[in-house]
Amino acid sequence: MAKSENIRNICVMGHGGDGKTSLVESMLYLTKGTDRLGRVADGTTVCDFDPEEVRRQISISATPVPVEFGEYKLNVIDTPGYFDFEGEVLQGMRVADCGLVVMSAKGGVDVGTEKAVRRLNDRGLPRFFYVGKLDEEHADFFRTYAQIRDVFGVSAAPLVIPAVVDEKIVGVIDIVRRKAYKMDGNKTVEMPIPAECEAQVEEMYNTLAENVAETDEELMDKYFGGEEFTEQEFVSGIRAGVKSGSLAPVFCGSAVSGLGTETLIRGIAEFAPSPLEGADELDPSGKAALLVFKTVSDQYGKFSFFKVMSGTVTADLTLENPRAEKSEKLGHLYTVKGKKNTEVDSVVCGDIGAVSKLGFTKTGDTLREAGMDVVYKGIDFPRPCYSMAILPVVKGGEEKIASGLTRLSEEDPTFVVTQDAETKQMVLSGMGDIHIDVLRSKLKSKFGADTTIEAPRVAYREKIRKKVKVQGKHKKQSGGHGQYGDVWVEFEPQMEQDDLIFEVNIFGGSVPKNFHPAVEKGLRECIKHGVLAGYPVVGLKATLVDGSYHDVDSSEMAFKTAASLAYKNGLPQANPVLMEPIGALKVYIPDANMGDILSDLNKRRGRVMGMNPAGHGEQIVEAEVPMAEMTTYAIDLRSMTQGRGSFVLDFERYEEAPANVQQKVIEEAKLLDEGEE
């Protein structure tokens, strides 16, 4: 078992398709963590083992795997590059002590690269860069390296560069040790530095020396004195620079051939901070406490991944959950490598483990020994931004969908399900269309629930614009007792509240007091359905002003019916209008996209309320937009900004819809009614 100081928790991040999973696979294979090199295209990698990941050939969840390297243990957390699965990246980052940002030598710095670096900066985590796919056509490490320094600053320092002879990559060169390596089968072997590369090595060595000099005053003096650093000075200077964030090592290689993988692993072991030096305050000698950062739920139950934050966690330990105010007995403990679980007796401070069958614990929870008062910071998940109504293909399958989504929410806190009583739709809100699609696939494969989706219906409101006075008279004679109720009601608009204001203003006893509540009740039932398109009526005042009754035939039911007749007669005459929900929108976008965003908001009938700089070349645009126009905004914004933009939309108020919108909504409501009949 590795000691806490020899553990490295590193989150692998970057754009979708840039080779993160293949790199982790190469790390496992070259350290004999697996006996064959898995391939994403074949669905044989350790990290992407979920059927959905295999089918789509993308990572969907954050997968921690242990990479053993001598006395070191690297907990390498492979995370998805697709933005729909951002929550998984945040889970991995929460327990990482540094990040490894992966990009391809052909594609260079991409949106996913920028997002990864920004997230690491926001959390104050050190970063490493890895430029992969060196052996692909049109790959250019030096162009990509120049781009990294251009976009992320001069802290990016070259530790490993490719050895290029006659435009062909023959190996990689370790700048610190001035040694070159090539692959012999699946082994890394030393080779001489090619003469053609010596000038480049010298240039990169000087660049690195300059970065290292800035980490320490003594080293700075030595550098300006023209003295060369010793290997040990280089190592300690790089470590210090990585920890402070003033230096970001750049590595390179090819995951397919394994070239550069061992150099990368050694670099992480040597230069990345241990958990004891990380962002979290860990206490190896304290009582046992842990943070659950990920939950996996399958047909066999629940699996909780955790990082030990204090002491040593042992099997069969009982810990308390301060959020749930309950105790949990830990059963068997495991280290997990893809589908393979290995049982262990204990997990030391700073290490990552897993435990099965916890009863009350959720992702983000702290578990601690009795007598401790610590609660570790959980994970701030992004708000869902894309909603679709989800319904069963086979009638009556709603229960299966609901219970399946409840189970899936244990492992994925980035989606929410609401049952909209008004539109009678189950609405599934997630991070994007791929996210919703994956959830539907899982519902089918894991729970046998076949679903379809449609745009969620918008909850409109109806309101009247003028005052009317109408009669509602209900008279029925059919032998024995008849039914008689007669009311005169004034309907008028009011601004005080959405809910109905009911008043009685009768002189004399034309409608006895005991029937007044029946009139109000009749009206309250009616306002649930407006006269234009069946939406609830708001801002209505109804005053009972007159009427008549019959000693024998009048009843509560008769007056309730009379009130509803007054409503149905009166509201169409009171200039009814349709009110649409308006949302307050905040869009975070790069400066370059401002024109497109404003033009698009205009098409959505949006009103721009203000624009403010947000730093990092970004702007915040604030606008008010009809909610009906925002169904596809998550996808459209991603397309307009190449994934750089994000937004928050909150309901603000209702306001009168334009005539053409009203007409369209009324026609749709009629079609819906006919369909339900």
Q: Give residue-wise pLDDT tens across range 528-549.
A: 999 999 999 999 999 999 999 9
Q: 């989706």: which residue's tokens?
A: 453
Task: Give pLDDT, residue 676.
Answer: 64
Record the tokens describing residue 581, joined without a space.
């929900």
> Under a CB-based contact definition with an 8 Å cutoff, are residues 572 and 468 in contact?
no
Of the candidates 418, 411, 427, 674, the one whose C-alpha atom is nearest the C-alpha of residue 534 is: 674
Strands 576-590 and 461-464: antiparallel
Dihedral sign from CA coordinates of 446, 452, 456, 462: negative
Q: Which amino acid is at 666?
A: I
Please check the confidence at residue 324 and state whether its pLDDT lies above 80: yes
Record the tokens describing residue 268, joined without a space.
């992480």
Please check the confidence at residue 268 and state whether its pLDDT lies above 60: yes
Paired strand residues for 334? 343, 354
Cα–Cα distance measured from residue 175 to residue 202, given in angstroms and rounded to the nearest whole number? 9
Of the candidates 498, 524, 570, the one whose C-alpha atom is nearest the C-alpha of residue 516 is: 524
Record the tokens describing residue 329, joined without a space.
């007995």
Dihedral sign from CA coordinates of 277, 278, 283, 288: negative
Task: Give pLDDT, residue 546.
Answer: 94
> Under a CB-based contact definition with an 8 Å cutoff, are residues 76 and 20 in contact?
no
**pTM tops 0.75, yes or no:** yes
Overall average pLDDT of the 629-652 stretch = 93
**What is the percent of the chain with per-residue pLDDT over 90, rounded to a whole number?**
84
Overall average pLDDT of the 341-358 stretch = 95
Task: Give pLDDT, residue 507.
Answer: 77
Task: Give pLDDT, residue 423.
Answer: 83
Structural domains present in the chain: 4-277 (3.40.50.300), 289-368 (2.40.30.10), 386-454 (3.30.70.870), 462-574 (3.30.230.10), 578-661 (3.30.70.240)
Find the distance separating the first CA and the last CA of the chain, reported in whole Å. 68
Which residues have CB under 8 Å from 602's CB, separation 6+?
A: none
**What is the percent of the chain with per-residue pLDDT over 70, rounded to a whole number?**
99
Overall average pLDDT of the 176-205 stretch = 94
Residues shown for the chain: 677
Cα–Cα distance measured from residue 510 to residue 549, given in angstroms and rounded to the nearest whole number? 7
Lowest mean pLDDT across 188-197, 326-335, 546-555: 546-555
> Under a CB-based contact definition with an 8 Å cutoff, are residues 492 and 541 in contact?
yes
pLDDT for 107-120, tens place per residue?
999 999 999 999 99
Task: Give pLDDT, residue 673.
Answer: 76
> Under a CB-based contact definition with an 8 Å cutoff, are residues 96 and 116 in contact?
no
Instruction: For residue 311, report the phi and psi dihedrals to the nearest 5 degrees.
Output: 65, -155
Q: 């990092």: which residue's tokens?
A: 616
Task: Give pLDDT, residue 538.
Answer: 95
Cα–Cα distance measured from residue 1 to residue 346, given in angstroms and rounded to the nearest whole number? 9
Helix (H) or strand (E) holding 525: helix 516-526
Of the candidates 136, 137, 134, the one whose C-alpha atom is nearest the C-alpha of residue 250 is: 134
Task: Give pLDDT, residue 74.
Answer: 98
Task: Give pLDDT, residue 557.
Answer: 92
Task: Give pLDDT, residue 571.
Answer: 95
User: Predicted confidence band at 672 (pLDDT cuts at 50, 70, 90)?
Assistant: confident
Task: Give pLDDT, residue 508.
Answer: 74
Judged on CB neighbours under 10 Å (0-12, 13-18, 19+), 272 is: buried
Task: Give pLDDT, residue 674.
Answer: 75
Q: How far is CA 403 from CA 383, 419, 455, in A?
A: 22, 13, 22
User: Predicted confidence band at 675 (pLDDT cuts at 50, 70, 90)?
Assistant: low
Task: Give pLDDT, residue 669.
Answer: 87
pLDDT for 361-377, tens place per residue?
999 999 999 999 999 99
Q: How far is CA 629 from CA 458, 602, 625, 645, in A?
A: 10, 11, 7, 18
User: Predicted confidence band at 480 (pLDDT cuts at 50, 70, 90)?
Assistant: low
Record the tokens describing residue 142, joined without a space.
């030096």
Please check the confidence at residue 677 and state whether its pLDDT lies above 60: no
Task: Give pLDDT, residue 299.
Answer: 63
